[in-house]
Amino acid sequence: MGTCSTCQVLTRPPAPAPAHAHAQAVNPDLAETLNRFVVPDFVVCTREGKLVSVQSSSFEDYDAERRKGSLVVEPMLTDVASTACHPTQAELVVLGRSGQLQRWDMLRHTLLAQRSFNKAPGAQVAYSRDGSFLVAALESGYVYILNATDLSDVLMARNTPHTITAVATATTGRHVALADQANQVLLYAFLPYKHIMRWEFVGAPPQTSLPGTLAARRAFPARL
């Protein structure tokens, strides 16, 4: 009895399919889903200092006129260094390289509060996770923890001479981490002091920390 074609397929590997055959087998709907730009809606800042709200779904629109976004506020700052949105309210803050800090209502397009920092140009700004306080950092290494409503000082500190490049707050609201231009991470904590709570710089530089302890300021390689 001769060998059937089915047996030949099982005992001998099939010849590779032509490249165009793979292209034809791709599901167009699946490819479109995989290539979608799926992110939360976001706010961008233009070079002129305008803050524009962008819907991620607009990137799927072929009409360029519909991909421009909508103006949120024009914060009267042409040197915007950093912005941050309130986590629960329609508000945002804008920090300029001139040292100006502004708090805006995004619905009414009104300025709610402002202040200026004279020690150095602005670098980074961030809200706490619950919006109860702000962190503003300058190029000179100064760090300000501020009341989120009137922008008054809660803490002013400087534990590095380098520009602050990133700010992050903990979900508990009790820790603030910062990175500087020297690839160091600095940690501040909200700790009990006598009968009150206050913000403090935690730990010591790596060269003075004891073995087995976690230093609050740690240097990382530049490639990180």
Predicted confidence at residue 220, as pLDDT, reads 44
So what's the pLDDT on residue 195? 87
Q: Which CATH class is domain 107-224?
A: mainly beta
Return the higher-pLDDT residue of 30 and 173. Answer: 173
Supply the pLDDT for residue 58.
Answer: 76
Interval 1-28 mean pLDDT: 46
Exposed/middle/buried for 137, CB within 10 Å: 0-12, 13-18, 19+? buried
* CA end-to-end span of the chain: 68
Q: What whole-number distance in Å separates Cα of residue 124 and Cα of residue 179?
A: 10
pLDDT value at residue 29: 58
Provide the sign of the torsion angle of the four alpha carbons 23, 26, 32, 37, taken in this order: negative
pLDDT at site 17 = 52
Q: Between 170 and 109, name the one with better pLDDT.
A: 170
Question: Does the structure show a pLDDT above 60 at 11?
Answer: no
Beta bridge partners of 173: none
- Whether the pLDDT of residue 40 is over 70: the answer is yes
Q: How far apart are CA 106 and CA 84, in angstroms?
A: 12
Task: Give the H/E segment covering residue 155.
Answer: strand 153-158
**pLDDT on residue 204:** 37
At 10, the pLDDT band (50, 70, 90 cuts) reads: very low
The predicted structure's pLDDT at residue 2: 43
**CA 98, 102, 107 angle in degrees (round to 5)?**
145
Confidence class for position 5, pLDDT limits 50, 70, 90:
very low
Listed residue (147, 153, 151, 188) closest to 167, CA to CA: 188
Burial of 97 (0-12, 13-18, 19+ CB in 10 A): middle
**What is the residue-averaged pLDDT of the chain?**
76
Please report the pLDDT score of residue 183 as a whole number: 87
Rounded Cα distance, 84 and 167, in Å: 11
pLDDT tens digits for 140-185? 999 999 999 999 999 999 999 999 999 999 999 899 999 999 888 9
Angle among Cα 207, 211, 216 to the nearest 5 degrees reads 55
When mean pLDDT is compared across 40-44, 123-127, 165-169, 214-218, the lowest value belongs to 214-218
- Over residues 30-41, mean pLDDT: 63
- Based on the number of CB atoms within 10 Å of its own CB, is 98 exposed (0-12), middle (13-18) or buried (19 or more)? middle
Task: Read off the pTM.
Answer: 0.68
Percent of the chain scoring above 70 in pLDDT: 69
pLDDT in tens, 50-99: 778 787 777 777 777 767 777 777 767 778 888 898 999 989 899 988 88
